[in-house]
Each structure stands twice: as structure tokens, then as C-alpha cells.
Amino acid sequence: MANAIIPEFQLNEKTHPGNVALKVMNLDYMVAFYTQIIGLKLLANDGQTATLGAGNTPLLYLLKTDAHRPSQQKTGLYHTAFLLPSRKDLGNALIHYVASNAPMSGAADHIYSEALYLTDPEGNGIEVYHDKPRSEWTINEDGEIPSDTLEMDVEGVLKAADQKWNGFPDDSMVGHIHLSVSNVDTTTDFYTQVLGLSLKFNFGDAARFLATGGYHHHIGANTWMSKDAPTLADDEIGLKYYSFYVPAQAELDRIAAHMTDKQLSFKRTNNGEIWFTDPSGITGHFELQPQA
């Protein structure tokens, strides 16, 4: 049975995840973790909001709040996935994480990528990965890109390293954002029919992968721990919002027109950004790709 759904309205293939904003309790500690352990660069910090990224591109915002940990499972972030340019870079990261006693929770080969998994001090999931060459991906005729969770070739990843760790390379990016949602069917309908992504892999009743263009996934959505869960409250730590970077102002206008046709409630800022809320109460927005 075909799994890939190609919506009538499709986002520009150059649209991709941009950044993630997290509400945090201990800003200084979280900044230190993401810079010294994970590998992001501190771009700005005014004591209330810290901007971290690779090169000059913001990838993560840490927002200091008086929020507390959720008392039960809520919808929100499953993990932020940082995409490194090469296997060499992943090898350098792995060596650094082991030497730093980083809180790693696993490693995997997903057919199209190799990935490391960690958890930050306030419970937010992190994936650090690289993509294999597309010639090694399995791409079905209908556009589906199957995934699996296999044992990673740790020795091969380590051999690829040049042991010149200096944090994430400048052209690293947020490769995908994996969300904990309340219902995968309503989430899939929203992200395909309203936002214009395509379903790339259907794990069944519990998880779906969606993307623009021919990528394996820009958005992951699962109910592994969040089926029918309530929305994360403003006074609870975790995901505040995430963004998509789009290539041109005209694309923002096209998206806004489509959302209007779909009668979706959204807000538009003076600079053209489009803010929306998905069926699980998760906030996202579209913004222009920052200039390099």
C-alpha cells in the first residue's frame, strides 16, 4: 500500500526547518551545555534570551522563564535534530561526547543517516546526525523513503573522524524537528493538506515522517508517549516554538494565501512571518532564510 501522500499545495522544496526555541529554568547552565558539550556557538545572550547557532545562523533560542517541569506527559518536542555536513563531523562529535561524558542515550543507522541521541539537562531530546549520500537511500517510486533503526557502525564513524573538534561546522543546521503529538492522523492531515509537506514514511498508528522536496523528513511526529496528551502550558518548560526557513518573501505570501483559503487561523507579523498552531497546540512559524 502506498504511504507517500503528495498534497495539492506543496511548500517550496528549499523550505526547511530553521530554529527551535526552548523555555528553560537555568539559562546559564543550558547555554554552557549546548556550547561546551553539544557544539553550538553562542551568538547573543542578554540574560533573558540566548541565541545559539552554527556560523552566524541561529539554530536554537533559550528563553529564561519561571516555568516548571510538566507534572505529566504533554505534547511538544521529542527532539531537535542537528544535521552535520559529513560523517567526519559526526565522528568528531562522537569522540567529543564520549570524552565529555555527555548524556548520550543511543546511536543508530536509519538507512539514510547515522545518528547520535542525547538529552539536555532539562529533559529536551537532541539528535546529532549526518546524511548518507542519496545514492544510498531507499526511495520508492511513490516518493516514500523507508526508515529503520539499525545498529550504527560506530567503528566506521570513529575512523572517519579527523579529531579536530571545534564545535559544529558553520554549515550545520536543524535537519529536522521531531514532535510529540496527541494524534498522528490529525497531525498528518494538518502538515500535508494545510502546511504543504509530503508524507515520506508511515510507521503506522504511532509515528509519521514528513518533508518538503525529496528529503527523508523535516518533521517527525509520534504518539509514543503523548497519545491524547494535553498541550504544554505556558508555565511549563520545553518547546516554545519552532520555525521553517523559506527562500523568499513571495513564498511567505503564497503560504499565507493558501492558509487563508484553508480558513486556518494564523498571525502575520510586520516583517511577513507567519505564525500558526498545529492540532496538538504546538506553535510554529515561517520566516525568511537568514542571509549568510
- List of E strands, the chain: 16-24, 41-45, 49-54, 57-64, 76-84, 104-109, 113-119, 125-131, 173-180, 198-202, 207-211, 219-222, 238-246, 267-268, 274-277, 283-288
pTM score: 0.96
Nearest-5° angle of CA 258, CA 261, CA 262? 90
Kind and range of the H or E run holding 231 = none
Q: Is residue 177 part of a domain?
A: yes
Retrieve residue 23's grid coordinates: 523555555
On whether residue 1 sits in a domain, the answer given is no
Query: What is the pLDDT at residue 1?
Result: 36
> How far apart are alpha carbons 218 and 58 in whole angstroms?
17
| Grid cell at residue 17 | 526547518
Output the pLDDT for position 60. Answer: 98
Sheet of 283-288: strands edge to edge? 41-45, 49-54, 57-64, 16-24, 238-246, 283-288, 274-277, 267-268
Range of the domain at 220: 16-288
Domain for residue 5, yes or no?
no
- For 69, residues 6+ apart whose C-beta sits below 8 A from its C-beta are 122, 123, 236, 237
Tell me how far apart the alpha carbons of residues 183 and 181 are, in angstroms, rounded to a whole number: 6
Q: Is residue 34 part of a domain?
A: yes
Separation of alpha carbons 135 and 65, rounded Å: 45
Assigned domain for 3 exists: no
- Give the span between the Cα atoms of 5 and 199, in whole angstroms: 5
Low-confidence ranges of the chain (pLDDT < 70): 1-7, 292
- pLDDT at position 46, please? 98
Per-residue model confidence as pLDDT tens digits over 140-195? 998 899 999 999 999 999 999 999 999 999 999 999 999 999 999 999 999 999 99
**Domain total for the chain?**
1
Residue 123, domain member (yes or no): yes
pLDDT score, position 234: 93
Q: What are phi and psi of 130, to 5 degrees?
A: -130, 150
C-beta separation of 284 from 276 below 8 A: yes
Q: Tell me whether strands 16-24 and 238-246 are parallel, antiparallel or unpaired.
A: antiparallel
- Domain annotation covers residue 8: no
Whether 7 is in a domain gets the answer no
Q: What is the pLDDT of residues 10-37, one digit of tens each?
A: 999 999 999 999 999 999 999 999 999 9
- CATH code assigned at 136: 3.10.180.10
What is the Cα–Cα distance from 32 to 139, expressed in whole angstroms? Answer: 40
Q: Who's near 251: CB < 8 A, 6+ residues apart?
A: 11, 12, 15, 286
Which helix H or strand E contains 121, and what residues bound it?
none
Distance separating alpha carbons of residues 58 and 50, to the nearest angstrom:
10
173-180, strands of its sheet edge to edge: 104-109, 113-119, 125-131, 76-84, 173-180, 219-222, 207-211, 198-202
